[in-house]
Structure 1
């Protein structure tokens, strides 16, 4: 009873004051609602963002109390965040490839092209996680890595220093897998409109998991035999673009041309169905390249914006010279050549973007823009390699040119000796890729087959391979096969 009597006044007092308390809270919320209602939508949208920033700042302050942030740790965090952002930019390039290749191909094959470009990065991610990353970075042997499968290794396994001096394994892997997916995506455009979907998926697994990863080890892993010789390919003119280009070339050659491409020995133009989305794809790729090249610095320093400028200059120069060249050659400025010229400039500058002058970057891109126009004509009419999007001309030809350009324009290494090393690297990576790609394509052709039937090709791969249409209900142009 005594205990109860002590509690009774407190209970009564709290109960008596509750209406006043709730009234004040309700009044406060009412005033808050009125204040928010007077704000513009833009300011209202900032409220949740502000709340998130406050929470993050509070967590950071709490963490700082437990473990003070040293300059080294701050630099490590900045490096990690930048490489993460660059990884996202490179992954977003898959959207650019989707748009570009779909626009350059015919309406009846749009779903097929989109599907291939989308699934290839998913496949590349799993394959590279399982064993490709280990083959490429798991050990410092001269030929390939043999440890750290399924991301199970320590930082030293992959040639990394412990954080914060080095990048976390997770973000380094994410950046590298974005590049691996790009190599496989290059193949998609060259074999478009006539390849079986299942054959392309299997080839993508093989090229990413084996061929790309092994040759990448030669160049980008300390201890790799080309790396030890001084071969320079900063962001992948050879490692990514020529590997994809060689594989695409062999695929297009073994597949054969599309029906109706060559009539009476002469090449017939088969125009794409949507230049608007092809142009959008080009712009997305251009933007994504600011993750591709500057991100390859793998750190935040003064070289990052410099690389961004050399990259942009080369792209611009390539777009201009390809436009002018096609204008002079064919009498009209060709939008498809402008697009491919921009991409050619980007591919060409990728090997040496970190250590060439601005003028050299313009020259490298300008030469790339000229090369791509004539390369398309040679592949199309002389070699009779049917490449619907010009992938071999953009990635293979200009990957080779950009890698050789290091021996001509690099501010520290340029010279006959370096040029010879660059040429050796191109021939070695190219020979290995051609050999493996040919084996892969031939084995697939002799087992499951790699080309759709003539009936399916005429009807369109969207129906034959996927049972759907990209533009259901829209009138098709049936005058083109």
Structure 2
């Protein structure tokens, strides 16, 4: 519906034309909705990608623990989004503001299927109510997964699960409502197409708060130097990265909110150009910094380029996409080095990928956007507001958990691995016949 304008005023009284118009409208809704459901499935697959990356970069003794968190996260994310998150974020505000929510029908728990709008009148014929909820729920769950990888291998599972409930159920939809729900950031002119700030930086701020309060892994920093802790499966990390790249086609392509052929195809090209340039930037920066062909930085460079391009994938030119992605790839290496200097232990580089490059991508809208209404200063203010709230809320949640139930496992459990102590099984087991 957004990409076809049917003008039939001069024949509006012809029953045949009216029937044809209704059929075209329904077919367009079906086409748009199928594309949106496909994108939803691709975003869902990103959870498998995150699981692969986190498990691959984590130590073998914590494999089951990492996989458990990555499995529970979308469960919590979708459930909390259904109970309250979706209704905080959309329809959001009766008028633009910070807290003026319209909470009529605030939970899907009370929602009757018959009340759902599945007609072409909903979302300009781009998708139905149900598709809208599920697509947005996948974004919410993705935000929490970012935190999981950063604080892996030493955080209490129970503390992480409690944090995820509050962070995804309340903090993420609150911040998201200010832009995508029609709130104050939207009225200000802030722009974030698919979530460089609203998803990735918000998750990255949560990850940074967790890294600070949980502290580094035992033996990670000795005499001021970072000690390498080999990952369990580098091939799995590679597979996970490619799954995330694949899922990003749904992440950004679905954010068009219809099957508009011109815009969708353009967004997917820009997305891929950002990823490729990010990988190149990460590879070259790591070689310059470490004098080696660092596969981990190559992979994180790809993800950095994807995060960086997400805020303006619909308003960037191909040339801008290559430059933005390349800079993101360089930034992710610089950020990782700086975090180690401050002894902030991020197992998978989540803060560097999602926070650092999420900020860069959002600011890049104010520099490279083809829309003259987009302002660098407005983007900077929006980033600062979202960052202050996301980091402050995450820090508060983690701090309360730390002083009450604790957020870190015992030293003995951390040294021997979380799999055996918390789950009773190991991720990698070799059995020899007697």
**TM-score exceeds 0.5:** yes
Alpha-carbon distance, 1:163 to partner: 7.1
Q: Provide the residue aligned with 2:169 in structure 1.
A: 209
Q: Is the 8 A contact 2:43 2:251 kept in 1?
A: yes
* C-alpha distance in 1 between matches for 2:329 and 2:78: 32
Q: Provide the residue aligned with 1:243 in structure 2.
A: 202
Q: Is the 8 A contact 1:344 1:365 kept in 2?
A: yes
Alpha-carbon distance, 1:265 to partner: 2.3
Partner-residue secondary structure (3-state), 2:107 = helix
1:340 aligns with 2:295: no
Partner-residue secondary structure (3-state), 2:311 = coil
* C-alpha distance in 2 between matches for 1:148 and 1:201: 26
Taking a change above 3 Å as real, the CA distance of residues 81 and 276 of structure 1, as seen in their structure-2 partners, is same
Alpha-carbon distance, 1:148 to partner: 3.0
Q: Provide the residue aligned with 1:386 in structure 2.
A: 345
1:189 aligns with 2:146: no
Match 1:462 to one of 419, 424, 428: 419
* C-alpha distance in 1 between matches for 2:339 and 2:373: 31
1:278 aligns with 2:237: yes
Q: Is the 8 A contact 2:64 2:425 kept in 1?
A: yes
1:130 aligns with 2:83: yes
Alpha-carbon distance, 1:413 to partner: 2.7
Q: Is the 8 A contact 2:32 2:125 kept in 1?
A: no
CA RMSD of aligned residues (A): 1.8
Match 1:303 to one of 247, 250, 263: 263
Alpha-carbon distance, 1:448 to partner: 1.3
Match 1:109 to one of 42, 62, 68: 62
After superposition, residues 377-456 of structure 1 pair within 5 angstroms as 377-381=337-341, 383-413=342-372, 418-456=375-413
Q: Provide the residue aligned with 2:323 in structure 1.
A: 363
Q: Is the 8 A contact 2:122 2:129 kept in 1?
A: no
Taking a change above 3 Å as real, the CA distance of residues 384 and 300 of structure 1, as seen in their structure-2 partners, is same
Partner-residue secondary structure (3-state), 1:147 = coil
Taking a change above 3 Å as real, the CA distance of residues 474 and 286 of structure 1, as seen in their structure-2 partners, is farther
* C-alpha distance in 2 between matches for 1:468 and 1:360: 48
Q: Is the 8 A contact 2:49 2:243 kept in 1?
A: yes
Alpha-carbon distance, 1:165 to partner: 2.9
* C-alpha distance in 2 between matches for 1:90 and 1:163: 20
* C-alpha distance in 2 between matches for 1:215 and 1:164: 24
Q: Provide the residue aligned with 2:134 in structure 1.
A: 174
Deviations 1:182-225 (A, max 9, x none): 00000001100000111101101111011101000001012x00
Unaligned runs of 5+ in 1: 1-66, 476-481
Q: Is the 8 A contact 1:352 1:403 kept in 2?
A: yes
Q: Is the 8 A contact 2:324 2:361 kept in 1?
A: yes
1:219 aligns with 2:179: yes
Q: Is the 8 A contact 1:108 1:459 kept in 2?
A: yes
1:74 aligns with 2:27: yes
Unaligned runs of 5+ in 2: 1-18
Match 2:98 to one of 143, 163, 187: 143
Deviations 1:223-266 (A, max 9, x none): x0001111100000000000000000000110000000011222
Partner-residue secondary structure (3-state), 2:407 = coil
Q: Provide the residue aligned with 1:34 in structure 2.
A: none
Partner-residue secondary structure (3-state), 1:455 = helix
Deviations 1:137-173 (A, max 9, x none): 13324224323323339679xxx94377352110000
Q: Is the 8 A contact 1:408 1:419 kept in 2?
A: yes
Q: Provide the residue aligned with 1:268 in structure 2.
A: 227
Partner-residue secondary structure (3-state), 2:143 = helix
Deviations 1:262-313 (A, max 9, x none): 1122221112121000000000000000000011001011100000000000
Q: Is the 8 A contact 1:138 1:148 kept in 2?
A: no
Q: Is the 8 A contact 2:33 2:128 kept in 1?
A: yes
Match 1:121 to one of 74, 93, 118: 74
Taking a change above 3 Å as real, the CA distance of residues 465 and 76 of structure 1, as seen in their structure-2 partners, is same
Q: Is the 8 A contact 2:92 2:177 kept in 1?
A: no
Partner-residue secondary structure (3-state), 1:452 = coil
Q: Is the 8 A contact 1:243 1:433 kept in 2?
A: yes
* C-alpha distance in 1 between matches for 2:243 and 2:221: 32
Larger Rg: 1
State the TM-score, normalized to the length of structure 2: 0.90
Q: Provide the residue aligned with 1:349 in structure 2.
A: 309
Q: Is the 8 A contact 1:104 1:389 kept in 2?
A: yes
Q: Provide the residue aligned with 1:331 in structure 2.
A: 291
Alpha-carbon distance, 1:414 to partner: 6.5
Aligned residues: 403
